[in-house]
Chain A
């Protein structure tokens, strides 16, 4: 996070944001940013705890990640380099419009490369490339309360968090196993943060849960409609809930990425034709492109130069 003064003074010389758009740097006024930063700091001080904040109207609908956008707007500085992903892609309408929004209102540089970014706003995925110290990952969160489905009363969920009464989370997992023979939840899989608060990781696939654990990057979560902010500071324990005899496992994919031959990454199924043709490709498009640029070739690209297996 940059200090406020840095943002104000450094924002001005670039000029573009203020002059061209008539908005304050990164759209939000400084008082709102201060309020949101206080919520963020509190969230960092109490990992996994949901801090209420007064969510502002943003020039986009709620489903578009207004919580994440407000968090990003409050911590971004003029020297930051921003990457925005939706699922794993930089190119969806949602990702493109948020990236443009900050390019316009904050005049910041943007990128699609994980390694180049200092801030990454995401819906659904954590990049495959390991994050490093100094990077901030901002999650757009629709439903921040992991206990909500089991306990609709807000006063009661607050008490359950306060007293760390999380038995009911395991009731949900128990029900899954009783019904399906295994824990069926694959997205937004609940985690225990720093041995204390149970937290909803937002709709990321559980595949990404292990990346949250002991990450060198700062992870911030913003829920606009629900007006909650929470955080996982760098190097914090993040444990996925499970049973001793049904330990947490991530999805495994039978084949490598059809484009870049990557294994051990999260793959999306792509339908090729109406005769059942399909392929599995990296959900993280930047990761896939970088691997291809480095000469990796999957089966769909076999025959093209530099195939994975042609180094004989």
Chain B
């Protein structure tokens, strides 16, 4: 693995039967770096994220990750227990559909506190104080702490997901279309919040989006996918201002509807 890298993906391929989900995807990710994965519908973005999160095993390829103690581990060689601990402490996953990322029948405080309890915190007062702190940080009125996410708006649910994930101070957060389906003004506020937290906490982020404006606002680097393959990659501003691939040029000129 490259000196200082946090994560390294090599030759990641996921086949659905004969069908290509993603093929031969390789990249490095450094601490604090935000990588956007863009591409039209069906290009393999979600597939890649599912493989990276170890929710799906790749058909081929490997992912290495630098643990907090500095040791480099191959994700798919970790036993399930260690992998799950890693996922709920050092990683986060913000889902497009908040109902999949939250416990909808558990209060906001319980949602935020869950990871703390999972890693063994057993002091109600401290767990609640952390939950309050995180609700405030994601701009949810602390008075709503005992309300269930079913009573929250779409934007609030996404912010609650963020709080729930960040409470254990992960170093890497995966996001799948976190702002899609939200009103433009709600989107803008959420993006501002994410950008602030990423900078403040030095988070590494892999964000899937088909909205190039989101990629432009949040990411340092960008990976353009088509038919499951990475066709162009580089610094976000360079790729968006001066795309080399004809497909990327079409994407940027908004000729292709994402």
Q: What residues make up the interface of A, taking CB atoms closer than 8 Å to B? A: 159, 163, 165, 167-168, 170-171, 174-175, 177-179, 242-246
Q: List 6 A-B contacts (CB under 8 A).
A: A167-B118, A174-B109, A174-B127, A177-B124, A243-B124, A245-B125
Instruction: Count how many chain B residues have C-beta atoms less than 8 Å from C-beta atoms of the other chain.
Output: 22
Q: What is the CA–CA distance of A170 and B114 in the complex, to the nearest angstrom?
A: 8
Structural contact, A171 and B81, CB atoms closer than 8 A = no
Q: What is the CA–CA distance of A168 and B115 in the complex, to the nearest angstrom?
A: 9
Structural contact, A167 and B115, CB atoms closer than 8 A = yes
A6 CB → nearest B CB, Å: 43
Structural contact, A165 and B84, CB atoms closer than 8 A = yes
Q: Say if the beta carbon of B113 comes within 8 Å of chain A.
A: yes
B222 CB → nearest A CB, Å: 36
Tell which of B109, B118, B123, B124 touches A165, judged by Cβ atoms closer than 8 Å: B118
B residues near A177, Cβ cutoff 8 Å? 124
Structural contact, A167 and B114, CB atoms closer than 8 A = yes
A residues near B122, Cβ cutoff 8 Å? 170, 242-244
Q: Say if the beta carbon of B146 comes within 8 Å of chain A.
A: yes
Of B84, B114, B115, B122, most buried by chain A (CB within 10 Å of CB) is: B122
Q: Say if the beta carbon of B67 comes within 8 Å of chain A.
A: no
Q: Provide the main secondary structure of the chain A interface.
A: helix
Q: Say if the beta carbon of B227 comes within 8 Å of chain A.
A: no
Q: Say if the beta carbon of B195 comes within 8 Å of chain A.
A: no
Structural contact, A245 and B119, CB atoms closer than 8 A = no
Nearest residue (CB) in A for B84 is A163
Structural contact, B119 and A167, CB atoms closer than 8 A = yes
Q: What is the CA–CA distance of A163 and B122 in the complex, to the nearest angstrom?
A: 19
Q: What is the CA–CA distance of A13 and B12 in the complex, to the nearest angstrom?
A: 72
Q: Say if the beta carbon of B106 comes within 8 Å of chain A.
A: yes
A residues near B107, Cβ cutoff 8 Å? 175, 178-179
B residues near A171, Cβ cutoff 8 Å? 103, 106, 110, 113-114, 117
B69 CB → nearest A CB, Å: 21
B184 CB → nearest A CB, Å: 34
Tell which of A159, A175, A245 touches B110, judged by Cβ atoms closer than 8 Å: A175
Q: What is the CA–CA distance of A167 and B114 in the complex, to the nearest angstrom?
A: 6
Nearest residue (CB) in B for A149 is B105
Known: A167-B115, A174-B124; 15 extra A-B contacts, CB below 8 A, are A168-B118, A170-B122, A171-B103, A171-B106, A171-B110, A174-B117, A174-B127, A174-B128, A175-B107, A175-B110, A178-B128, A178-B145, A179-B107, A242-B122, A244-B124
B5 CB → nearest A CB, Å: 29
Q: A243-B122, A243-B124, A245-B123 are in contact. Are A179 and B146 (CB under 8 A)?
A: yes
Q: Say if the beta carbon of B80 comes within 8 Å of chain A.
A: yes
Structural contact, A244 and B123, CB atoms closer than 8 A = yes
Nearest residue (CB) in A for B114 is A171
B residues near A167, Cβ cutoff 8 Å? 114-115, 117-119
Tell which of B103, B114, B117, B146 touches A178, judged by Cβ atoms closer than 8 Å: B146
Nearest residue (CB) in B for A159 is B80
Of A175, A177, A246, most buried by chain B (CB within 10 Å of CB) is: A175
Structural contact, A174 and B110, CB atoms closer than 8 A = yes
Find residues 57-111 in chain B having any chain A CB closer than 8 Å to their own CB: 80-81, 84, 103, 106-107, 109-110
Find residues 192-248 in chain B having any chain A CB closer than 8 Å to their own CB: none
A155 CB → nearest B CB, Å: 13
B residues near A179, Cβ cutoff 8 Å? 107, 146
Nearest residue (CB) in A for B123 is A244
Nearest residue (CB) in A for B108 is A178
Structural contact, B115 and A178, CB atoms closer than 8 A = no
Q: What is the CA–CA distance of A167 and B87 in the complex, to the nearest angstrom?
A: 14
Structural contact, B80 and A163, CB atoms closer than 8 A = yes
Q: A167-B119, A243-B124, A244-B123 are in contact. Are A174 and B81 (CB under 8 A)?
A: no
Q: What is the CA–CA distance of A170 and B128 in the complex, to the nearest angstrom?
A: 13
Nearest residue (CB) in B for A242 is B122
Q: What is the CA–CA distance of A245 and B123 in the complex, to the nearest angstrom?
A: 6
For the complex of A and B, the 9 pairs showing the least CB-CB separation, nearest first, are A167-B118, A170-B117, A243-B124, A167-B117, A244-B123, A163-B81, A171-B110, A178-B146, A245-B125
A residues near B115, Cβ cutoff 8 Å? 167
Nearest residue (CB) in A for B109 is A178
Nearest residue (CB) in B for A178 is B146
A residues near B146, Cβ cutoff 8 Å? 178-179
A7 CB → nearest B CB, Å: 42
Nearest residue (CB) in B for A167 is B118
Nearest residue (CB) in A for B82 is A163
Q: What is the CA–CA distance of A244 and B122 in the complex, to the nearest angstrom?
A: 6
B159 CB → nearest A CB, Å: 19
B110 CB → nearest A CB, Å: 5
Q: What is the CA–CA distance of A242 and B127 in the complex, to the nearest angstrom?
A: 13
Q: A178-B107, A178-B146 are in contact. Are A245 and B124 (CB under 8 A)?
A: yes
Q: What is the CA–CA distance of A245 and B84 in the complex, to the nearest angstrom?
A: 28
Q: What is the CA–CA distance of A174 and B103 in the complex, to the nearest angstrom?
A: 14
Structural contact, A175 and B106, CB atoms closer than 8 A = yes
